Chain A
Amino acid sequence: MLSRVTTYALHGVESQRVSVEVDVRSGLPAFTIVGLGDRSVREARERVRAALLNCGFSFPDSRVTVNLAPAHLRKVGPGFDLAMACAVLAASGQVDAAELDGRAVFGELSLGGELRPCRGALAVAEGALRDGCHGLVVPRALLDEARLVGDLEVHGAQRLDEVVDVLCGRAEPFAPPLASTAPPAPGPPQGPDLADVRGHAQALRALTIAAAGGHNLLMSGPPGTGKTMLARRLPSVLPPLTRAEAVEVTRIASIAGLRVGGGLAIERPFRAPHHAISVSGLVGGGHTPLPGEASLAHHGVLFLDELAEFPRNALEALRQPLEDGRVAIVRAQQTAVYPARFMLVASTNPCPCGFAGSPRCRCSEAEVARYRRRLSGPLLDRMDLTVELQRVPTAELGAPALTSSADVRAVVVAARERQTARVPETGAACNAHLAGAALQRVAGATAEAAGVLRRAYDRGALSARGHDRVLRVARTIADLDAAPRVGADHVREALVLRDDGAEAPGAQGDAA
């Protein structure tokens, strides 16, 4: 006898429908799984058989063949267990096959028949909704996550026999009242707070500007000055996630296994990979593609501590996400696209010893130039803001905090609203994505501001590329000021926050 049950396989950040077909036929007892599954799919044989028997069902004493269709799609993970078990039950007549029509099931089985959570429930639920399924059965632990899609009847079961009871109408689906689907309340900022910071007025200002315009930020300074400490507080001043953003963050975190079950993510992600990371660790990939740190930081912050220590090729690989806000992983068998729109925050020492500019520095011109060159190139081009930190004087360590995350966030949100109002005109969600003509148009630089830019350019303190970068940042500073046009003071402040490589000695190609 033949039965079919619908479930979903993960592909990139989406799910694809998979039909689990089970054929039970007389012959020598055997249990075969076909359909391009990985090892965990093949091992499902043992889990499914034991779970069925331990829940009081019988396992057909005949030839059982499981096919996961479409057969060309690579299938990974234990999420097919429940669908296989249900299909075996239907094919062996223990459950009415009609009950499984139009429903999708998803989950891993334990030997005892308990349903265990697995990755990607939100993506699966979205797939079920998209394909018009009228119900979805998932492990109880995944209920909150799967119900984020809204218009889908989701049943959270704890055991295999409970699933069967529901399918046969012997029990009511477990469906506690839904939590609100409204966007998460913009409550107090999460995580470490800027109120913990002492001194660092310049860095606080730079963080505010970066957050307000979505600009990438490079912090340079001696070891132990607080670069990492400041970067960790950036998410707390970013605008709260919108519901759509929160769903995307939740989906990616679930697929990566960072956050399985457990409702909507309300915090912006903050990812700080170690510099020993590989290319595929950073942008995603692997034999069976998984999202990398760049995607895990989607709508949040990707923090690269000690930028110069990262492998060059890993940094090069960040170019695509920085340009397009997404990563395409191409493998022989498949192509996966992961969203990756993040704010890049990086920290670096100013020179190999870290004490450039102070008498303690023993680095030669050549060493500093070589160190800087490791940073240079496409990534530095994308750093709108550079701030150089110094040690905080003892006197300031005892002083009260200069600000708090809530205060800064209020200013940032107001500035972002001004940018959002311009979206019809610019098509850029925030100033960091402004370019070319749109930038010139919305900057509306005053004559005086244009004069300052021209003088900077004439002095050789500004390259043509730097010109746009300064104007973008100036636009954000003007937004913080609620100024409709970019003024001279905005441009001047932006000039101070640019990368200072242009003025380093011998920077015109003579650097040793």
Chain B
Amino acid sequence: MTACDVCLRRSWLLAQLSGRLEIAHLERRPVRDVLALGEDELPAALAAVGGPGPPAWAGRFDAAAARREAAASGLATVCRHDAGYPGRLLDDRSAPALLHVLAAGGLRRLTQLVGAGGERPPAVAIVGTRRASDDGLELGRALGRGLAAAGVTVVSGMALGVDSAAHEGALEAGGATVAVLAGGADVPYPRSKRGLHARIAAAGAVVGELPPGTGVRRWAFPARNRIIAGLADATVVVQAAQRSGSLITAEMAMDLGREVGAVPGSPLSWRASGTNALLRDGATVVRDARDALDLVLGVDGASAALEAQASARTPLPADLEPALDALLARLADGADTVGQLARTPQEVAVVSGQLAELVLLGLVRRAPGGRYAPRVP
């Protein structure tokens, strides 16, 4: 328990004002501008949107109760006046006064992942649409895995689709990942990601600005996105439509002067319209984890990280059977279903066996629709 009373009160106040913040959000007042307001200005500014509000809550806050509540939910707290507060967030004038942290490793784990004070270990935010394609999920997972394996923390929002895939990838590579939730850090949102929530809390950290048990409102998502962008050195958008939450995160990252990367896609795909627009506006092309590493570590740093990682990874079989090698080449050429790879039932038997072997070797994965896709390294 290191948070000060003032910051605890700020967090409590936001939860109290949640309804009014929602109205302000619906009235298209930028959430960051509103959240940048000070302790006293905030209720006054919001009074206008919700009618004359009684400032009755002013005296009701009980810091001891807030601390007890957080402790009961297993949450640690850290505020902007603490040494343990991630320094990167302070670049943002609307930075959260306080973070609630759910992590098996406690605040120490959060500090390892995103640093404290002037210390800034590399971190990348991976965000994207909730309606990701299978390829998008695989890319998100591969980026998460590759970055975490190279010692870079993966920050995301635990939403369906790309966000979760990125967390999953990072968990596969040891768990260097931070999930930023829109509600209380102890409330898995979306609910279907309970399992993921628990695994991130065990291996990485889950953080949230609002007090424990707080449900989500719409204003809280852009508010959450400012934390995601703030915690990371770079934000990589995997798949996003125009006018999506992911682009808001990218925009916030640009405001903070952080790097923005995007995975290119077909101009015909709605899932690539947002990322392609970012690229046109100057974002860095990210094709794989290596590109993302270049973004945060610089080219030399990335090479060093990858070398360290390569020595740890089990090498691919160099002496792959020629038949399997040929099949891999055909898969890469786009013939990716058994139907396309085999013309007769006899060939099907052979090709099926070879595909199974490639899957067992970890070179290929099964994708929806009976497709076989190369695993992104």
Contacts from A to B (Cβ < 8 Å): 199-202, 204-205, 208, 220-222, 350-351, 355-359, 361-366, 368-369, 387-390, 392-393, 396, 402-403, 452, 455-456, 459, 461, 477, 489, 491-493, 495-497, 500, 503-506, 508-512
Q: Does B353 contact A (CB under 8 A)?
A: yes
- By the criterion of a CB under 8 Å from any partner CB, how many residues of chain B are at the interface? 48
Of B168, B269, B349, the residue contacting A506 (CB under 8 A) is: B168
- B interface, by DSSP: helix, strand, loop or mixed? helix
* Residue among B269, B360, B362, B368 with the highest chain A CB neighbour number at 10 A: B368
A496 touches B369 (CB 8 A): no
B345 touches A364 (CB 8 A): no
B339 touches A350 (CB 8 A): no
B160 touches A205 (CB 8 A): no
Given known A-B contacts A356-B369, A492-B353, A390 and B339 have beta carbons under 8 A apart: yes
A202 touches B339 (CB 8 A): yes
Tell me the residues in window 192-236 of chain B with beta carbons closer than 8 Å to chain A beta carbons: 192-196
B134 touches A357 (CB 8 A): yes
Determine the chain A residues whose CB is within 8 A of the CB of B134 once the complex forms: 356-357, 505
B353 touches A510 (CB 8 A): no
Q: Count the A-B residue pairs with Cβ separation under 8 angstroms: how many?
A: 141
Of A392, A455, A504, the residue contacting B368 (CB under 8 A) is: A504
A496 to B352, CA, bound (A): 6
B165 touches A505 (CB 8 A): yes
- Among residues of B, the one whose C-beta sits closest to the C-beta of A512 is B192
A208 to B346, CA, bound (A): 11
Task: Return the CB mask of B330-363 against A: 1 if under 8 Å, else 0.
Answer: 0000000111101111011100111111011010
A350 touches B369 (CB 8 A): yes
Tell me the residues in window 21-75 of chain B with beta carbons closer than 8 Å to chain A beta carbons: none
Q: A364-B131, A503-B365, A510-B193 are in contact. List 11 more A-B contacts (CB 8 A).
A: A202-B339, A202-B342, A202-B345, A202-B352, A204-B345, A350-B369, A355-B369, A452-B360, A455-B360, A459-B360, A510-B194
* Residue among B130, B354, B356 with the highest chain A CB neighbour number at 10 A: B356
Of B131, B196, B344, B362, the residue contacting A402 (CB under 8 A) is: B344
Given known A-B contacts A389-B339, A503-B365, A365 and B161 have beta carbons under 8 A apart: yes
Q: Does B141 contact A (CB under 8 A)?
A: yes
Q: Does B132 contact A (CB under 8 A)?
A: yes
A205 touches B348 (CB 8 A): yes
A512 touches B193 (CB 8 A): yes
Shortest distance between the CB of A77 and any CB in chain B (Å) = 48
B369 touches A509 (CB 8 A): no
Question: Could you list 24 examples of A-B contacts with CB < 8 Å?
Answer: A201-B344, A220-B370, A221-B370, A350-B369, A351-B368, A356-B134, A356-B368, A356-B369, A357-B367, A358-B369, A359-B266, A359-B268, A361-B369, A363-B131, A366-B160, A387-B370, A392-B339, A402-B345, A461-B360, A492-B354, A493-B353, A495-B359, A505-B137, A506-B195
* Residue among B160, B365, B370 with the highest chain A CB neighbour number at 10 A: B370
Of A205, A222, A495, the residue contacting B356 (CB under 8 A) is: A495
Shortest distance between the CB of A475 and any CB in chain B (Å) = 15
A365 touches B130 (CB 8 A): yes
Determine the chain B residues whose CB is within 8 A of the CB of A461 once the complex forms: 359-360
A43 to B133, CA, bound (A): 65
Determine the chain B residues whose CB is within 8 A of the CB of A505 once the complex forms: 134, 137, 141, 165, 168
A509 touches B195 (CB 8 A): yes
Determine the chain A residues whose CB is within 8 A of the CB of B370 once the complex forms: 220-221, 357, 387-390
A491 to B137, CA, bound (A): 29
Shortest distance between the CB of B254 and any CB in chain A (Å) = 28
Determine the chain A residues whose CB is within 8 A of the CB of B190 once the complex forms: 512
Determine the chain B residues whose CB is within 8 A of the CB of A362 once the complex forms: 131
B339 touches A506 (CB 8 A): no
B345 touches A365 (CB 8 A): no
Determine the chain A residues whose CB is within 8 A of the CB of B133 once the complex forms: 359, 361
